[in-house]
Every structure is written in structure tokens, then in C-alpha cells.
Amino acid sequence: MTGYGYRRPDVVITGIGMVTPAGADTTTAWKATCAGLPAAAADPRLAGLAVDFSCPVTGFDPDAVLGTEARRMDPFTQYAVAAAREAVADAAPGDGDWDPARVGVALGTAVGGQRTWEEQGRRLGERGQRAVNPLTVPKAIGNIAAGSVAMDLGLHGPSLALSTACAAGTTALGLALDLLRAGRCDVVLAGGTEAAVTPLVSTAFDRLKALSRRVEDPSGASRPFDEHRDGFVLGEGAAVLVLERADDARARGRRPYARLLGHGASSDAYHLTSPDPDGRGARLALRLALEDARVGAGDVELVNAHATSTPQGDAVEAGLIEDVFGRDTAVTSTKGVTGHMLGAAGAVEAAFTALSIEQGVIPPTANFGAPGADIAGIDIVHGTSRHAPVSLAVSNSFGFGGHNAVVVLGSV
């Protein structure tokens, strides 16, 4: 199916798989997110720390889903493989529909197998070298989630790992779009995965003053755009989307959720952790994404914002949204429910955006009461889900190091 020449093919989303704090499958996660049910709770793994809560994955039994293979995987790989299986089952290819040599995998992650590194580090310190698991490196390296998805599903196209911090899941979707347009793959499983809720990662983010300190009220801690926001809540999980060309999906009778119309990426080139206060890098990524999608900002009806609930980041993004899209475009942040899933966040939010387009439902921004004094006049969906047709939407992701990635999705 190569040789598209200069005709740029439409790319569509035909399968979605998720393992999230809101639920360990897509249906459960979407239902909880539309209900605005925050997933944050006290986390025994963080007991005794200054921030002792997170948004952990719930309802996921790796042994039941993956069998004995689960023991050879870090949780970030377990989540990815489970989400990929669900996504492929959802896409429902028939026998012979997909050539395995033409199916690729592109997965983002911020820190890879962090739990494995920490666990084995403790073993080395407490029990010596012979206690270290010989599979430590293949369990923990950042590319192993993509490689394991390929092995699990018997896929022989490229398996690629993207690491652009909290933009990684969105970066992976952009790469997948390019692979399909270029005719290098016929199908790409794209998304992000993360399992970084550990004592070390939580403490490190807290030392940066990036986390919410609302220890007395974990479920109210992740509050994007709210006047009382004080930092993000660590979450974990994965989302994988099946992307293929619209002609191929149509030929096998599969109705897509949405189209992936374009993507844009940029760098702030400004600071290790802080966004450019003028939003220049994010603005550039937005402009490139809209140009790639060949749509105007005035046509965008929904923004799934990055909005982690940090004081500075939310203010910069809210101002940018008002400036680019105006006051009437609906804005939501699903991190109020899921927390911040780092390298998985962009993929999860793109999946929710696709479901908003398919179902005409915009989830509320959980825990939003009133906008902060520094939040621009934007239309933040809150309280309850909004039922409204959505034909064009944007999903933003921004990461430490100044990584910016944006995708544009549209109705079929």
C-alpha cells in the first residue's frame, strides 16, 4: 500500500485501549471521566512522605491479563501491552486485513521502567550484587514497552520509543501520523505509558514544588485552572490508539472514532521546568498543528488542555487558549480525574478527545470551582459533562525541557 505520492491520505482512529486511574479499560475510564470522579487517593507506596497520595491505576490485575509474562515486565510495559491488546481488539481486524510487517508501534514515556530501577537499586544496597535481577535492564529501558507490544502481538514494523517528557504520548501520535502519510506503515499502534508513582519520583517532583500538597483532601487536589490549584497529582497508566488510513478502514468496514488531522511540535528553548511565560513555544506548536490539519483556529470547538493544575502552567495555557481560540471554545482538562500521567497523559487525553467527537460529550474539569485571578476568560467545562456536537478539537501537551506537542482531531 505504498506509493501515495503527493496525495495525502486521511488517517483515522479505529481502536482505543486504556489502562488509567479512572479505570482499567476504555469504557470504565470514559464513564468515570464523564462523571468527573477524581481518582486521587492516599497511596500506601508513598506512606510517610510529605505527599502521600497519587492517582494509581485501579482495577488492573497484571497476572490475570498477561499471565506469567507479567513478571518479566515493569508496570509501564504491563500497562502498554494491556492497552494495545484492547485497542487491537477494538479495531477488530479480520484475518489478512493487516500485514504484520506493515504494522508499527510508537509509544511515548517520560521515565520508562522507574519502579524496576528503584527496586533493584534497593536490592543492591541491602543484599548485594547477586540479589540484582539479571533482567533489570531489559525490563527497565525506555524502549521496552514498544518492543513488548510488538512481541506480544507479532508485529514486525518499526517499534519506536519517544521521550519528550509529558508531551511524549502526543509526540508518538504525531510520528504515527507521519509514518502513515509517508506510506511507511499501513497501521500504527500509537500512544504513551507511564508507571512513575514511586517514592523517589514523588519526592523529586515535590522538591521541585510541582506537586499539590493537599494531603488532607487528595480527591480535591488535582484542580486544573481553579483558583485554589497548588500543583499536580502524579498518575500512571497507558493509552494506545490504532491509527490507519481512512481508505483501509473503510475497505474492511470499520467505522472510525475520529480523524487525526494534524500535529505540531516545538521547543520553548527557555528553562528546565518552567514554561515560557509568553507561551511562545506552545503557540508555535498550536499554529503548526492547525496548519498541518489545514483548519483555522476559529473552527476549533474543543480544547483538551494540558492544564496540570500548576499555578504557572495553567495561567500561561489559559491565556494562550483565549488568544488563539477566543472565549467561546469549550475547554476541559481531564487531569482533574486522572492526575498527571506524564508520558501517558497526551495519549489518554487524545483518546478522550476522540470519544468526545464520536459521542458528542465533553467531560467536565473535575474540582474546578472558580477560575484563578490569573486565568483568562475561557469557557471551562465543569460541574457536569456537556452534551454538544464536536467536529474539530485540539489536544495540548507540554513537557519539562520545553517540549510542546499538539494534535488536531476531527469528526469522520
The alpha carbon torsion through 44, 50, 56, 61 (nearest 10 deg) reads -30
**CA–CA distances in Å: residue 116 to residues 24, 71, 136:** 21, 11, 7
- Which residue is catalytic, options 34, 55, 185, 340? 340
Residue 151: which residues within 8 A CB-CB, separation 6 or more? none
Residue type, 29: A
User: At which residue does the C-alpha cell 521546568 appear?
Assistant: 273
Scanning 271-310, the segments in alpha helix (DSSP H) are 280-293
Q: Are 208 and 400 in contact (CB under 8 A)?
A: no
Q: Reply yes or no on whether 166 is catalytic.
A: yes
What the block records as the C-alpha cell of 296 is: 483555522
* CA gap 401, 171 in Å, rounded: 14
**Active-site pick, 55, 185, 306, 382:** 306
* Integer Cα distance of 339 and 202 in angstroms: 13
Q: Which positions ≥6 away from 208 have C-beta within 8 Å?
A: 273
Among residues 166, 185, 263, 403, the one annotated as catalytic is 166
Whose cell is 456536537? That residue is 389
CB–CB of 297/324 below 8 Å? yes
So which residues are the catalytic ones?
Answer: 166, 306, 340
